[in-house]
Structure 1
Amino acid sequence: MRQTAKHSLRAFSRGAAMALAGLIAGLSPAEPLQAGPLADAAAKAEEKSASGDSKAAFDIMREAFGDFSESLPFTVSLATFVSEKPPAYGAYSARSSAIFKRGEPIVTYLELIGLTWNEVGKEKQQANFTVDLQLADSKGDTLAEQKGFGNFTFTGHVRNQEIFTHLTLDVSGAAAGDYVLRYIVNDVYGGHSAPVELPFTIATQ
């Protein structure tokens, strides 16, 4: 699932195994090892799959993974400069370097995890995140910044976990040199933010 923004201004050794076995054996009955929600869901899904109900099995795991994902800290799991706009989640072409020609747009691909979803309307879920921009020089001095550089809303019948976007920055007016691009991604419903920094260079020619 994608939306985009464009603005001007991306052996385990045998001894260790034996030690672990000893630790597990030393646990008292009052402290039993318990399976988590994902393991419980997997067991239910396997039962459905064994009975021939693949759809139910998939739905169980999708719902469980959605719950698990929302329990994770909101994070930008991947941020990289790309050579072209990505057509789908995971379908990106990473640049071989962070050196750009003068006037070349800077396209950044982002993937997110831990995004908060809210129920909206009838049987629909919605997630919303914004992106703030800061551009600094190699010394860390801020050259430009913009709140709300991007604003993305996703609405659907399921909590889609393949959330990505790309951001395009135009720095055609910037001089040659080293810079740091900083994006702050804000989970609107969850109230959390996740920053990411990407150093880059504008070549002299």
Structure 2
Amino acid sequence: MRFSLGLLLSVATLAQAVAGPVADQAAAIEGKLSEGDGAAAISLAQDLLASVWGQAMQLSFSQALLIEQEATGYGVYNPRATNVFKPGEPILIYCEPVGFDYGNPGEGLWSVNFFIDLQVLDSGGNQLANLPEVTQYNMVSRHLNREIPANITYTLQGIKPGRYTLVTTLRDKNSQKSGSFQTAIEIAE
């Protein structure tokens, strides 16, 4: 009995330690759902996402993969069946960055903006190229879009057949945040 009481006290203490703004907001969402007010619950959930999003210390990616052709929207892509490319063939990558900040160009507009850096590593991890700001991503919207589909195209000229790792880094122009992902490719004749 003493063990059970001690365990209950520990669980209660842990629950209090976990409680905070996120837990409070989650409870408010639950309350709206139990009242049958789905619209208010969704609005509160969006506010919670915005709060967590704003506290992200760096960019991360919910997707980053090779694709057959440019995506036409968020999640509207066809994965590439292979990572093998001919010399000089365009390498198309789709990524979904999360945790970025917004610019405010005025007139009710919001912007999402990245510098994109590329490193090319050989199969031993040696750096063959380091190309800062090889390209950019810029989008303007009247909504604080979080579902951002970023198409990136690289064309590697003069690279010998072999296996490589492409390290793509997005640097947020609207904050100090950045994030990277790696893509394994093979160049074959």
> Of residues 54, 76, 94 in structure 2, which corresponds to 1:70?
54
1:83 aligned to 2:68?
yes
* Structure 2 SS opposite 1:163: coil
TM-score, length-normalised on structure 1? 0.71
Uncovered stretches (5+) of structure 2, i.e. residues with no partner: none
Shift of 1:107: 0.6
Structure-2 separation of matches of 1:167 and 1:52: 43
**In 2, Cα distance between equivalents of 1:30 and 1:166:** 44
Residues 66 and 159, structure 1, Cα contact 8 Å, conserved in 2? no
Aligned partner of 2:51: which letter? D
Letter of the 1:61 counterpart: A
Measure, in 1, the Cα distance between the counterparts of 2:87 and 2:120: 16
**Highest RCO, 1 vs 2 (Cα 8 Å, sep ≥ 6):** 1
Q: For the aligned residues, what is the CA RMSD?
A: 3.2
Partner of 1:177: 162
User: Which one of the candidate residues 27, 52, 60 is aligned to 2:44?
Assistant: 60
Match of 2:118 in 1: 133
C-alpha spacing 1:71/1:43, structure 2 compared with 1 (3 Å): same
- 1: CA distance, partners of 2:172 / 2:115: 7
Structure 1 SS opposite 2:62: strand
Partner of residue 3, structure 1: none
How many residue pairs get aligned? The number is: 185
Matched with 1:202 is 187
Query: Is the alpha carbon distance of 1:50 and 1:126 closer, same or farther for their aligned partners in structure 2, counting shifts above 3 Å?
Result: farther
| 1: CA distance, partners of 2:6 / 2:114 | 47
- Give the letter for the 1:116 counterpart: D
Aligned-partner residue type, residue 99 of structure 1 = V
Query: Identity of paired residues, percent?
Result: 29
C-alpha spacing 1:64/1:125, structure 2 compared with 1 (3 Å) = farther
Structure 1 distance, partners of 2:98, 2:14, is 35
Alignment gaps of 5+ in structure 1: 1-18
Q: Aligned match of 2:133 in 130, 138, 148?
A: 148
* Whole-angstrom distance in 2 between the partners of 1:148 and 1:68: 28
TM-score (normalizing by structure 2)? 0.76
Give the 3-state SS of the residue equivalent to 2:182 in structure 1: strand
Q: Distance in 2 between matches of 1:175 and 1:91?
A: 32
Q: Which runs of 4+ in 1 moved over 4 A?
A: 21-24, 27-31, 33-36, 42-57
